[in-house]
Each structure stands twice: as C-alpha cells, then as structure tokens.
Chains A and B, each alone.
Chain A
C-alpha cells in the first residue's frame, strides 16, 4: 500500500513540476501570431485543395492577412461570397471573380472515336501521354484513364464507362483547377458558370487539319469556320484548325450549335434552337411587339444584326424560361424584310 502511495505522490509532484516548467518555457518562447489568421481560416471552406495556389487554407489565410493588396488572391471553392466576407473582416478590397466550372473539351466517345491499339501500361493519363499518342487515332483527345477524377478532391469528376470520357458535376465542382493541371492533354478548361449549369463550348482541342480529324473522330472540330461566321458576338475564333468560344463574349445564343457539321459544339442545360424555322408565323408580325410579349416570344428589333438587340432577345429567352420548349417558340419579326434567326449572318 505504501509503495503505491509513494508512486502516485512522486508522479503527481513530477507532473506539477513539469507543468510549471512548461508554463514558463511557453511564456518565454511564445510565437506571436496575428489572431486574424485563425479567424480568416475559419471563414474559408477548409477544403485544403490548393486551388488558390497555396498549400492549404492556412497558407491562403496567412497571405490574406499579411498582404495589403489581396486582389490577386482568390478562393475558388468559397467563391465571391467568401472572399467578400473575408475582405469585409479584414477591411480590404476583395477580388471579384465570376464562378467557374471545369469543362471537358473532348467529345471523342468510344463510339465516335474508335480505338486503334491497346495500352497495357500503368492506367494513368500522365504515363500514357509520356509514352505515346494514345489508344485512338487522335493525338489531342482524352486518354480516359481518369487522372482528373483521381486528383479531384470534391468527387466532381467521374469517368463514364460507356463513353470513356470524364464527366463533371457542376454542382460539386469548385473550379480549384486541380484537374486542369493534372490533364496531360490540356483538355480541361475552367469556363464561366452560367445559371442552371448551362453551357456552350467547343468540345474538342484537336489542332489537326479537318481530314485528319474526320479520320480519327466523328465528333471533332474540323476548323471549318461556320460557327465563327454565324456568331453575332464575335465570341468564336478559329485558330490552327480549331474553334474556340470565348466564355466572356458568348451569350449562349446557340446559333453556332446548329451550324457545326460535326456536333463538336456542345450545348448543356438547354434545348437547341429549332433546326430550320422556315418562315415567321403570319400572326406574329401584326402584333409588332415592343419587347417580350409572352413567355415563348422572342422580339427582335429591325436591325437584327445589332448585337445589343440579340442580347435583349436572348435575355428575353432566359427570363421567360422559354428555353425548355423552344419547339414552340414563336419568332416574331418586326419588319418583314428580316430573315429568321437561323439565317442571320
């Protein structure tokens, strides 16, 4: 009994002694840190994804507190709201960035892009890309081993086994950019995120000449330039046999989608425009609507080529939620000389 008593006593005394020593040592070597760093870190999402360019949320919060100008810093996961909150807390001006989402720019599904050989090395895009061109005839297209899905910490990317292509869940995607860096073929791009995940983009990155593209893949961009001509906003440029839609200029008018002969321009979250509206309905012009009349009416001003008017028209579509039933859309033309939407150049 006595032994037990002394053992406990000794340990207690040692414990107290150590605590006292530790207290003074901690006082002596105390690291002064700005308490705001902790606060800012709490405001950040805590995903530690590295999308901001720092190793984790702690790194970004340190930078946010220490730097005077924080306009170059941005948390893609938290987005504008988080940055505003942080900026308000710190009394600095936050960077404004529209929400973005990862976009897979390859439409070469198993069906459209036949395999010409079999790769039996390590199942990784990076490894395959370092060794050779890939299993298909297209040297630009998706390899399909899912490096992007592997690096996504939010589970937003999955490889669809039937198409062999990755698919992005825009609701989960935070635009951290990890997949963009991981893709050895540079297929993934961060593009402006429209409401309801709508999107129009060229789903191909092949810079091959048209004939070579056609040979390798039925869904590739052949650089014909039809979309460039039809775009009323100058958002499309064809460079090196490849069309690119500038997400900043594109207004989702969808004209290019119908023009594309290979279907390389992809439309998401919207129905396509009617294929060939033959003539405007007779009743509509008589009404001569000033702006938006009904939910399924697009009003166009006389100068139909004026981008502004089209912008309004598009807005009308968006506002009226008419996009779900375009089949029934009535194209109303103010002046009879104006051709239907499809043929306006």
Chain B
C-alpha cells in the first residue's frame, strides 16, 4: 500500500460521524462573513449597512489575484460591515447579514440533477471558479483559481484529488465523496480540462473502504480518472505528502510549489464545489462541516451555510457536552481552539471537534530527553526539537537556516513527544517570525529592481 516516505504518525482515528449522512442545517437567522477567510489579501466589501442582498450575490470582491470573492450565503439586509471578534477573539472585518426569506440570484441552478457535459474553454472554467470564490476547502484555503493558473514555462502532468482526510475525527470529505461522488468526478473532469492534463488520481486512505469502492465503480465512466487507496498515515492529506504518496515525487523546499513536479492537488470538497460553480453557477456559500467529539450526543455531518455561528452547529448536534474542555475549529491535530463560539463557519472550516475531559488538557511539559522521536515523526525531515529550542531563544537566523519555512505545522512532533513539550507552539512562532523577516527582506529589495 502506498504512502509518503518519511515520518508521520497514526493517531486514533475516532471517525465517529463516518456513517452519518449529510444533514442540511436550517438557514441561520444571522450570518457573519469575514472578509479574510482565505490565504492572500482579504476581499474588499462591496456592500454597506442597510443594503439588501440575495443568496449567492457577490458581497466582497477579490483584492488582486491572490484573493477570493465572497458571496452572500443568505438573503436579507446587511446589518454592519465592522470589526468583529473571530474564534480566537481577535478582531476581523466581517459583514453581518440578517436573514429575510430565501431569495436567490436568478442565474444559480439549484436543481440536483447531474450535469455532465462541460463545453467551456480552460480559461473560461478558471474564470468561473474565480468568480465563485472557490478556495481550498481542506483547511489551507488557498485560492483555487491561483492553483489552476499554471505559470508560463511550467506544465501540469497530473491532477491529484485529495480525498485522504487524514485528520482524526473529521469526515466531511468522506461523506462528500460517498454521497456526491459522481458530481465530484465531473468536477475532476472539469479540473483536468482546466489545467490540460489527461490523468487524475484520487488519493483515498484505506480507512474509507466504502468511498474507495463507490468511487472505483463510478470512475469506470470517467476516462483517465484513477482511484488510489493509500495506507492510513497522518499527515497524508498534506499537499507534499500526498504528491509523494501518489507519484513518488518530492516537492523541493520553498519557494518551490507542487507544480514544479508537475502536480496540481485539489481537495475532494473543493472539487465538488468546482462542479457546482462551473455547471450550476453556484458560488461557494455552503460546505459540509463535521461536528464531532467523544462527548457530543450526536456527531453529525452538516451542510452549513458560510457565516453560520458555530454555536448553532453545536446546538444541532445536541449541545455542548458538560465536560467540554476545548472546542476546536478543525481537527485535533491542526485545528485551533476557539474562545468565541459566536464566530462563524468559514470556507476552510471542515469540522468542529469538541474535546472533553482529560482529552482536552495538555499534559505538563517535562524536559527534552533527546530521544529524537520528533525527528523520526517529522514528515518534512526537520528537527523539531532543535527548531523549537532555537525559536525559544529567538535565534531567527539559525531557525531559517534549519529550514523552518518547510514546516507544514502538522503537529506530528508534538503529538509524539514523550515529554509533552509544546514543540509546535515554538516552531510555529519561529516560522511566523522568519516568514515575516523574509517578507521584509523582499520588500526592502523590491524598490531597487
């Protein structure tokens, strides 16, 4: 069974909601839409307080190429465009809309029947994806149109669809593949056409045999699409890990991108969103969110409009468990704990994991015993103990030389550490600081050119 060559861990899978069919969450009364919910420049608001908006209407426009459009997930009145606290309690520009009825933009096709044929040119497909504001829905929220716009001089050889979902607990991609598999495969065809390749591989971890069987059956009707089962190993859903697992090619360290080895990777839910955008004119206004956790009464997969308060989802799954210690936006490995449950579901929010009791608490950190478990667990071949130590000492030049920018923040090091050291906390700080220094350096060099 294929997997990536270096490092990785296998945490408890805990896919509690794997057998739960996608449920449609009732329309929220009020939504908050952050303008920056993707990598790149935050979008520019196109509406003001008091404006009436329809479902699917553009409310914020991409600021430049590396940005994404944002559409209204409900119809109603804009209540404010203001700084609002996000899940981490930090202020962020958000558009607040109060719902009135359910009126849609006319061009959107809301029927559920499959529309297979796509006669658009590649450029038109990418333009449609850009208009729909699609970003990577696995969590990284990289604008999809940027990924598909292959820079001159480079050539895509293969499209890889990320159906790995290696993060414990989460099942939103799994359910999407299972229930909306055919639509997703049409999306794969569209993406293949957009980047001009005739081969696509859908990578799925072996713990989803039903999805593998279902898609293998469906893929017979699609030319050039191959389903690749993969060994269960975290973080296989990382872009570079998946490329290595599926093609055996190693993406060089930054600033190299997957396209340098001829690969374009797209998440399964994103691919479904691409199908809807291109074939049905449906902008990215809803997504499947897994609401899960050991203490949760009914773990669920909820089809949720963007901007819905997370509290609403928790209520739909039976409320917050009494011994809840942490509510995590994302999965337990890469997610971020939240302090504000009124914060909204965003494009990159694939799940909400509620950790209860002892699971929620970190154990007290001891001393590094140089066992090097973190080194063997690191899928990027870094030395986390060293990076964290140097970051703690604020030796930014040294951490940069140790390739800290290659870190994908998967958390394997921290989860494997027998001394419970907060390795990732320090590494993340070091990475952020070094990235800032690199940006400052580039900005200083730019005027000279």
Chain A residues near B (Cβ < 8 Å): 116-117, 120-122, 124, 126-127, 130-134, 139
Contacts and interface: CB of A to CB of B under 8 A. Distances in A.
23 contacts: A116-B339, A120-B361, A120-B362, A121-B422, A121-B425, A122-B392, A122-B422, A122-B425, A124-B392, A124-B425, A127-B426, A127-B428, A130-B432, A132-B89, A132-B90, A132-B336, A132-B337, A132-B339, A133-B85, A133-B88, A133-B89, A139-B90, A139-B91
A131 B426 CA distance: 11
B429 A134 contact: no
Nearest to B422: A122
A133 B340 CA distance: 10
Contacts of B426: 122, 124, 127
Interface string B409-449: 00000000000001001101100100000000000000000
Contacts of A117: 339
B429 A126 contact: yes
Contacts of A116: 339
Contacts of A120: 361-362
A194 B90 CA distance: 37
Contacts of B89: 132-134, 139
Interface string B20-43: 000000000000000000000000
Interface residues of B, number: 17
B429 A127 contact: yes
Contacts of A134: 89
Contacts of B428: 127, 130
A113 to B, nearest CB: 14
B90 A130 contact: no
Interface string B298-342: 000000000000000000000000000000000000001101000
Contacts of B425: 121-122, 124, 127, 131
Nearest to B365: A122
Given A124-B392, A126-B429, A132 B362 contact: no
Contacts of A130: 428-429, 432
A66 B392 CA distance: 35
A120 B91 CA distance: 22
A124 B429 contact: yes
Interface in B355-390: 361-362
Contacts of A139: 89-91
A117 B89 CA distance: 11
A126 to B, nearest CB: 6
Which of B89, B361, B362 has the most chain A CB within a 10 Å cutoff?
Answer: B89
